Structure 1
Amino acid sequence: MDRIDAQPLTAASADRLDRLFRLYNARLLGFAATRTRDFATAEDVVSETWLRAAVSLPQLRADDAHAYGWLRSIAFRAAVDQYRPRSASEKPEDWTDAMASRVLPAVPAAEAVTDVFALDVLSVPQCAAVKLAAQGMSKSRIARQLGKSRQAVQQNLASSARRLRAYALAG
């Protein structure tokens, strides 16, 4: 959001924004803390919410007593934007290309063959979850990355661990 081109607030708008801030800042901070699970990030989200609210304050037609829903939707969007990767460098790395370009010995050791083909026993969702977990991502972040629930990711990881264990024992 470009803040340089933003119009200055009128005295009436500044008073209204101050009144909204006094009424809803604590509730918005609590809402943002539940969404981000980190108080410092929640403060950043709420600050961004108030900046966005100041820019779009003329759009709020309702009285100030019912403005919490409007502010909460702005806070929700700010929380989503907080976690959106800003550049390609923030996305998880795909190590499959690095492994494919690596020179492998002509006759790999038996354990190496087992490790390379072990992922073949997994389904596609299980394999994706295992690869992201191997990069050190949390289950919640893997769920966001794959567009699944945290419970689904947890089940994929547990079932893939069972399959890999059985594959290693059958070996």
Structure 2
Amino acid sequence: MPSYRIRTATPADLDAARAVMLDTVYRDFGTGYVPRWHADIIDPAAFYLAPPRHTLLVAVDEEDGGAVAGVAALDSRGPAHPPNPAWLAERYPSGETAQLRRVYVRPDHRRRGLARELVRELMGFAAADGGYRSVYLHTDPAVPGAEAFWRSMGKAVCDEREDGGETVHFEIPLG
């Protein structure tokens, strides 16, 4: 069984982290790269390494020469309206909301607790920041396992499928 280490990404990790993200949006989501949704994937340094209240984590497989097996990010941008419902943008304002993003694990490394550990580390980062009052994320429930995973971590606050949408929004308790 591989041995993993989770750590803050460095500039040297960005190509491998980007590859995990792009592989996920192409293979798992079936959308491919969509500029208005995925600009952070192309320039993760600007989105996650430069801003002081943001972070990008990598899970590296120590037995595979430090290959990046998973990623997870956090930023202080709340859900935008549109495309999200206005009340969500009001409930989770930018600056006060830690938004979890890009929690992705390569298929051959799944079912080993990596995503849960990545989220635990992001939650510790958010708590240590001291300025966040909530933790928010959204997911595509069509991705196998995604909805069940997030329901095990937090509470669904909006299920857009009830109104013909495709996204489920979650809050995870902070602290």
Give me the TM-score of the superposition, normalised by structure 1.
0.29
Structure number with the higher helix fraction is 1
Structure number with the higher strand fraction is 2
Give me the TM-score of the superposition, normalised by structure 2.
0.28
